[in-house]
Amino acid sequence: MQAVRDELAARRKIQVNNAAARFIPVFLIGIVGYVTWVVAVLISVHFYLDPSQGSARNGAGITILVLHFLLLAFLALNYFRLFHVLFTNNGFVPHRGQKPSSKSEANLETQTYHRSCAPTATARQSEGPDHGKTFLDFASILDGTKPPPPGTEEFYSRDIFVCDAQGLPIWCPTCANWKPDRTHHCSDVGRCVRKLDHFCPWVGGVVSETNFKFFIQFNLFAAIFSTYVLIVCAYSFADNKRLHHPTNTFWVVALGLSAFFAFFTFGMFLNSTHLAMKNLTTVEAIDKRHRTYFLAIALSRQPEESLSSTTTPSQVQTITYPLFPKSSTNSSPENNEKNMESTRSQSKTFAIIQTSPGDNPWDLGPYENFKNVMGDRWWDWLLPLRYSPLCDHKSSISEFPFGPVVDSLKKEYGMIPAGSKVRTRRRRRT
């Protein structure tokens, strides 16, 4: 009963967020329309350009108009680019279609969950009711008696990926999919989202790897636009007072709104840029001092030879992919031996290594981190056109480039030949 109640509460939350994501952007566009009416019509045309007002200053009136619409054009371009990305490429991990569609299928697919095999994060998810969730039989998958859900090859085809303590990619029981590196389940929309930052009703959806750059640019231009409106309102307010005209309530409201949004968006811009330079998301920054990651790092064909002689098997656990089939029970011993040989030749062994608490394996240094989000050229930093370079996942090494933390780990475990050049990481302040 509690499970059903929780499921309904989760669905309600998603519905409320969807409604907010539709309403708040319209509200925001209404506010921009209002301040534009105040600045362009009331201040520029009626106050500065109208000779009967006694404050006629054509130069001021025209400059205010031109600058306002120029900044508004940049703001609108950024806002619509954000919407465009939200509707066309929102960073959601696509469902693989293996999620059960009927109750009987669900009963077949839902397996006993083995807490002892679970990574910490997944174990936490499993403590709640399992209504509508798909838990895996990790023990059977690991011993090769049961095939894992499709998609593991996308992880083990690379050289490094984020895994759980047993070396499996992270599983989302709600979406029934493996989570690509740096993916988190967003309970606000009920989906797994690549490099989830946060759910933002102001922009009508989830800020993720695909639109984080455009989100930063939108906040920058919104802060500039709001500050401009604030200055125009304050300037004309002073002129109005000097001429002993009565206080205009519309101007006062525009002044208050622009002050609030200038403060709010500039704060968001600074915070988001800081995260970009640290190569963190808002989610990853939570508890970042204590956060650790398990990484599966590919070894050569003979794992025991590629690990340092000082490293004992008890210190480093390994996992070999593909996990299934380990052997076939339906074929003859000769065929079985052939299959095993073929599997061995295609197999890839990974060391499972845990990072130290607080280490960010993707940290490449502030400037490289910044360029990874904002682009390589300065005009990419200002124009909301190209996607962030980190959206490109074509590398055969890893989904996202790893930094000196991983080099140091490889060196520590003897996975880099002696004499190789290794990027060094700065010591964290304790």
Least Å distance between CB 96 and Zn ion? Answer: 12
Least Å distance between CB 261 and Zn ion? Answer: 33
DSSP 8-state assignment for residue 357: T
Least Å distance between CB 355 and Zn ion? Answer: 23
Residue 320's SS3 state is strand
Please identify, using beta-carbon distances, which residue of 38 and 175 lies nearer to Zn ion.
175
Please identify, using beta-carbon distances, which residue of 93 and 298 lies nearer to Zn ion.
93
Non-local (6+) Cβ contacts of 357 within 8 A are: 289, 290, 291, 292
Residue 351: in which H helix or E strand, if any?
Answer: strand 348-354
Please identify, using beta-carbon distances, which residue of 282 and 336 lies nearer to Zn ion.
282
CB atoms within 10 A of CB 36: 16
Where does this chain bind Zn ion (CB under 5 A)?
172, 174-175, 185, 192
Q: Which two tokens stand for residue 162?
A: 């984020």
Cα distances from 369 to residues 146, 188, 260, 274, 383, in angstroms, run 40, 27, 30, 10, 18
Least Å distance between CB 177 and Zn ion? Answer: 7
Least Å distance between CB 189 and Zn ion? Answer: 10
Please identify, using beta-carbon distances, which residue of 71 and 172 lies nearer to Zn ion.
172
**Hey, what's the torsion of the CAs at 173, 175, 178, 183, to 10 degrees?**
-110
For tokens 């055969």, what's the residue? 396
Alpha carbon 164 to chain centroid distance?
Answer: 19
- CA-closest candidate to residue 364, choices 354, 373, 351: 373
Please identify, using beta-carbon distances, which residue of 136 and 374 lies nearer to Zn ion.
136
Please identify, using beta-carbon distances, which residue of 193 and 216 lies nearer to Zn ion.
193
Least Å distance between CB 188 and Zn ion? Answer: 12
